[in-house]
Structure 1
Amino acid sequence: MPLLFVYGTLCFAEVAHALLGRRPCSQPAAVAGWRAAALPGRVYPGLVPDAVTTAVVAGRVLSDLTLRERTVLDVFEGDEYEVRRLALTDGRSASAYAWRDVASALDETWDAEAFAAAHLSAFIWRCCRS
């Protein structure tokens, strides 16, 4: 399976574990020219192109997903995302879930620490019930 770059809720090992029943191998990674945008009325982000040439999104690369696990993640992400092939800042390439409705993304960047403090526990619970 190709590498999967994650930048939002899937960066939290607890979320991946709730969805997949295990914690996949992951390592820090980043993509340039994109941003993890806050989305209206949602606690999770959307990856959107960024016109700022210095924009970099930090995330993680999942490297040992099975085909079944990728299918689980595809269903979890849903139709609002499309799988895109992106170049990582270290020269490798990876698939990523990019937000389709770029115009709906807010100007602010998604805040992972605020998400963890306010929503992570409930989000994990909802993932376990899926």
Structure 2
Amino acid sequence: MPDLFVYGTLRFPEVLDALLGRVPELAPARAEGWRVAALHGRVYPGLVAAADGVADGLLIRGLSVEESELLHAYEDVDYDVVELRLDGGGLALAYRWKGEVLDEDWDLEWFTREILARYVPGCVEWRAEYRAG
């Protein structure tokens, strides 16, 4: 499977473990021409094209087909999968936001400090429902 560039909630090992039951190999990555935008009424971000932007994130390596399918299901219909070029060369898949975004970038530190601990149990519940159904 191709590497997956993640920039929001999927960059947290706790979230990956809750969803996949393991933490795959992760490596730092950046993509110029994109930004990680805050979304109205949501705690997670959206990746959108931005001529002068730079999106920081991680590459997830070594996903199985089943794990990729699970992550595709987890990222809802408001995202589509695109291939993007990473700084330093190389390509990766990423989830691009299709809707409206706020002018400000997503606040990774705020999410880590205020939301992450409450977010992970929801991922565990989502995985259980996904597997049941």
Q: TM-score range by the shorter chain?
A: over 0.9
Q: Which residue of 1 aligns with 2:15?
A: 15
Runs of 4+ in 1 over 2 A off after TM superposition: none
C-alpha displacement at 1:51, in angstroms?
Answer: 2.9
1:120 to 116, 119, 122: 116
| Equivalences, count | 126
Per-residue Cα deviation, 1:79-100 (whole angstroms, up to 9, x for no partner): 1100000000020000000001
Report the equivalent of 1:83: 81
Residue identity over aligned pairs, in percent, reads: 47
- Cα RMSD for the two superposed structures: 0.6
Which structure's residues are more often strand, by fraction? 2
Distance 2:68 2:18 in 1: 14
Counterparts of 1:1-130 in structure 2, within 5 Å, are 1-52=1-52, 55-101=53-99, 104-130=100-126
| Cα deviation, residue 32, structure 1 | 0.4
Unpaired runs of 5+ residues, structure 2, are 127-133
Deviation at 1:78, TM superposition (A): 1.2
Instruction: Measure the CA separation in 2 of the matches of 1:14 and 1:28.
Output: 17
Question: How does the TM-score come out when normalised to structure 2?
Answer: 0.93
Q: Distance in 2 between matches of 1:70 and 1:109?
A: 26
Give deviations 1:6-28, integer Å, cap 9, x for gaps: 00001111001100000010100
